[in-house]
Amino acid sequence: MSNTAYIGIGSNLGSPRENCERSIVLLGAHPKIEVTARSSFYKTEPVGSRDQDWFLNVAIQIATDLEPLALLDALLSIESSMGRIRAEKWGPRIIDLDILLYEDSVIKSDRLKIPHPEMTQRGFVLAPLAQLAPNLIHPMAKKTIRQLLSELPEDKKVVRL
């Protein structure tokens, strides 16, 4: 498997830890995806509507032979199989799987944006990603993940478990 990608995973419905663990197992069961590393879990404040439970977030590194759109389809299929319903932007969710980075690709299409467009402002993405790949360079910001994390304001709680 020749391409490296990073996936952000989050949940705040049902049993968030079990949901995240299950999604990692399902990703690893895909014949063209190998989970090669994972971060610790992080408990994080919700973005947008605060009238919901905190999220549990984790990041994984994968090796894959899937092209970015095929990888997106695989993630959406796993979300759907786990009961994800897209009802409200930034609302509660049983599982959320996002492609954060795919090699050093920059993709801007109607279906997919890589790097993930909001990742540089989100501690719940950058903290677990910095644990996995602190010196990885963001292809648009031209800074390391560690640098991006250190530049965030301290207004959102991200607690490593």
Catalytic residue among 96, 110, 122, 160: 96
Q: Amino acid identity of 137?
A: I
Q: What is the enclosing helix (H) or strand (E) of 160? A: strand 158-160
Q: Is 96 a catalytic residue?
A: yes
The Cα–Cα gap between 61 and 105 comes to 15
Give the distance, in angstroms, between the CA of residue 68 and the centroid of all CA atoms in the same chain: 14
The Cα–Cα gap between 33 and 27 comes to 6
Catalytic residue among 22, 73, 98, 111: 98
Q: Amino acid identity of 111?
A: R
Q: Is 50 a catalytic residue?
A: no
DSSP string, 24-72: HHHHHHSTTEEEEEE---EEEPPSS--SSPPEEEEEEEEEESS-HHHHH
Catalytic residue among 50, 84, 111, 146: 84
Q: How many residues does the chain have?
A: 161
Which residue matches tokens 């032979």? 65
Catalytic residue among 51, 65, 73, 93: 93
Residues known to be catalytic:
84, 93, 96, 98
